[in-house]
Chain A
Amino acid sequence: MSAAPIAIQERSDLADVRPYGPKPRRMSPGRIGIYAFLIVAALFFLIPVYIMIVTSLKGMPEIRLGHLFSLPHEPTFQPWADAWLHACTGRDCNGLSPGFYNSVKITLPSVAISIVCASINGYALTFWPYKGANLLFGLLVFGAFVPYQVVIYPLIIGLSSVGLFATLPGIIIVHTIFGMPILTLLFRNFYAALPAELFKAARVDGAGFWRIFFSIMLPMSVPIAVVAVILQVTGIWNDFLFGIVFAGRSNWPMTVQLNNIVNTTTGVKEYNVNMAATILTAAVPLVIYFISGRWFVRGIAAGAVKG
């Protein structure tokens, strides 16, 4: 430690020894502005969440007092239980839980089937180019830009002609089809970024289409598969339009049930139950983001940067 001052003394020929060493960190006005903006933006989104949570924990008499921001005096979880088990949609008073299970029944197969198909699509388009492959890929990408509303009516006609309209397989097929463009794009770009020599080496080793896919490509696809799972789970879970049109009354997903609970016109509006129901519905995508956010960024980066 004693060496440093001596060194500076020896260099007294230099009128000013600074700048020397690491640059000091200071809070510049620009940085203060950025933090101020971030805090305001965070509050903007967090205040409604706060209101939802406190309201869902209050009883109806307390809500009628109108103190929107106050914490609950007598916190109760009854609205949550009601939302899950007893809230009414029309004459059925079974709460959200049937919708939750419907959503699970729709989401799991849709996510699995669409990712399996898209990864095979992306793999074939990248490594086994055939005549018209680029055209097909172009059409698929174009499909990502078609507004959903345009194709709803033809799809209804098509599905009902094969007896799949308003059934569970029907809604799964619809979600799979609409996930295909973006997922194929995702997987194709991921595979295109892998070294082509890897594929060549496997062919010299004698592996065929499926062997290369399962033994070499699939094990490498974990990061992009995680991205695909997150995209699809949140997209399908949050879907309302396809659910209400294609699922059929008995398979209505959670989002549709929520809508029906909140919009039920008979009796008193139970704000606490509505808030609890909304939080419950949004919980699944939120949990997925919190758990896998790190993976999501990593997967996106793996697809984008390595290319």
Chain B
Amino acid sequence: MANASLGESSLTQPPLTQRPAGARISRRGLERLDLMLLSVEALDLNGGEAMVWMAAQLGFGDLFPNRVELWKRRCYNPLRLACRRGELSEPETDALISLLCALADRLYPMLRQLLSSSEPEAVTDQRWGLFQGRLEELIRERLNPRRGGVQKLLDPAYGPQLRRQLIHGLAFGAGHGGFDRLKASLMDASA
């Protein structure tokens, strides 16, 4: 595409961290955030321990000193069995998103394998099947089966699309560069 011209070279680049001050993530956003963390646990058998370790590595040791504190923040997901009312503060949600981005970065080779179409279909199907099995096990253990959102996740018709959506969120939100993308997505208006 050599020598194509845009004619917009004088545009200034706003900072990518620009966002409305004091804007919080809605309950719907917290639900997606926790489901993505649950997907990380489904992909990594040691996910729970990895989260606490990663939180300490990222400097969030004060916010999430142990698994219980992390679990308490994740219980703001309205689909949880032990659901908590209210909203999380911005530093807490930012810490959870940073944690998720770092974990997704660590698991990126697995995420890529799931999304790749270059490998034999049987192998890809087996990978998705393994992920589905572990995720459904975690969902039945921790989420409220009477909620419509949980039933949709376990539904054979809607489930695959929702699981793919979760993996998309992790793959495109992985790493330092994915933070703003993922945060803006979690702050989307509810339909």
The answer to whether A binds B is no
> B residues engaging A (CB < 8 A)?
none
